[in-house]
A and B are shown apart, each in its own frame.
Chain A
Amino acid sequence: MKAKLNSLPAGAIIVLHACCHNPTGADLSEAQWREVIAAIQTRGLVAFIDMAYQGFADSIAEDALALNLFAASGLQFFVSSSFSKSFSLYGERVGALSIVTAGKDESARVMSQIKRVIRTNYSNPPIHGGAIVAAVLANPELRQMWEDELAGMRDRIRAMRVSLVDKLKAKGVARDFSFVAQQRGMFSYTGLSAEQVERMRSEFGIYAVSTGRICLAALNTKNIDYVADAIAAVL
């Protein structure tokens, strides 16, 4: 990844996932982020950081690690963020575009350009979803309630990851799936082939993306044995 970054032309735009990488579940360490930032600075690249899963890896604050490192770098960069997952408000379409500039004066000019893009597209955002999110975040009691509920989602996904690995092992699957328990966020690449994914669908009614990506957040204590059996059967 670093070699590739160092080969990109100046001004190239790179989209990076801040945490819970979709689709792989593999995140960079702090040292690796520092190397990425150094390469971006050296090459004159433009980073666009996608933050769709804040709070699903470790916590709201810890999942902002990459953003904090970028913030300290002095770079200008873009951030797309979403409350679809963290507030379970998928259909309300609540997100935000943030842009870090070199200073206040630039900020005003950049914002005027962003407003032009929005005005000529959908004019202004709908009220409801954003108002609910803002109300929760502004009220200390509701904010704590939300962080606790978010932690509950995070812990349940982690438990399903560990459980799936255990069950596959218990069913005598030889292939090592321990990476599934170490990865974070909703997704993992299972390594299943497109043919195996198709057998999961046709023989078991289990739907996954043909690349082998599965959403661990759809597993529960009632279906996990069935899914583990199916994976064991198609391997």
Chain B
Amino acid sequence: MSSSIFAAVEMAPRDPILGLNESFNADARTTKVNLGVGVYFDDNGKIPLLNAVKVAEKARLEAMPPRGYQPIEGPGAYNQAVQALLFGKDSALLAEGRVVTAEALGGTGALKVGADYLKRLLPDATVYISDPAGKTTARCSSPPVFRSTAIRTTTKPRAASISTA
């Protein structure tokens, strides 16, 4: 008799926000409203597909470009466009070659790549997550992403000197 290698596996806790979506989807009430997840809905309650995206996507589908591998850090044109949005296209930092950018799998993916690198660069550092309102339960990707990289995390309590309410 052999026992499964998964026999002792424990159930992981549900993601506090994406788990809420599962409950919402299972709710049969027609009046239900999902104020949980950070997604923009239009006045009809739909996630919009922007017209600018439609035009660019249509042109791309018509061109049917080949699908080779990308550079590890993503295409230069994309990364330069990101830098221009963040720092302004005439930024001195960019002119001085002081910014490096790599395309990542969303903001969460960027946090994870950065966290992995920081773990190599500063193996003993603790990560602190800012919290202007002084709540101790930050609910976004950053705390779990940093925890998954085995970096110590904590949320800063509010201090009297900076009030942002």
Contact = CB atoms under 8 A, between A and B. Distances in A.
Q: Mostly helix, strand, loop or mixed at chain A's interface?
A: mixed
B62 to A, nearest CB: 12
A95 B81 contact: no
Contacts of B158: 1
A235 interface: no
Given A2-B162, A64-B87, A90 B105 contact: no
Interface string B128-141: 11111101011110
Interface residues of A, number: 121
Interface string B25-62: 00101011111111111111101111111011101100
Interface in B75-91: 75, 77-79, 81-88, 91
Given A98-B82, A146-B50, A125 B74 contact: yes
Nearest to B97: A104
Contacts, number: 369
A132 B74 contact: no
Interface in A96-132: 96-104, 107, 110-111, 113-115, 117-119, 121-128, 130-132
B148 interface: no
A32 to B, nearest CB: 5
A82 B32 contact: no
Top 4 nearest A-B pairs (CB, nearest first) are: A82-B107, A104-B97, A80-B110, A205-B32
Interface of B: 16-17, 20, 23-24, 27, 29, 31-45, 47-53, 55-57, 59-60, 67, 69-75, 77-79, 81-88, 91-93, 96-111, 113-114, 116-118, 120-122, 124-133, 135, 137-140, 142, 146, 151, 156-162, 164-165
Interface of A: 1-5, 8-9, 11-17, 21-24, 26-29, 32, 35-36, 46, 48, 50-52, 54, 60-61, 64, 67-68, 71, 78-82, 84-85, 87-90, 93-104, 107, 110-111, 113-115, 117-119, 121-128, 130-139, 142-143, 145-146, 149, 153, 156-157, 179, 186-187, 189, 201, 204-211, 213-223, 226-227
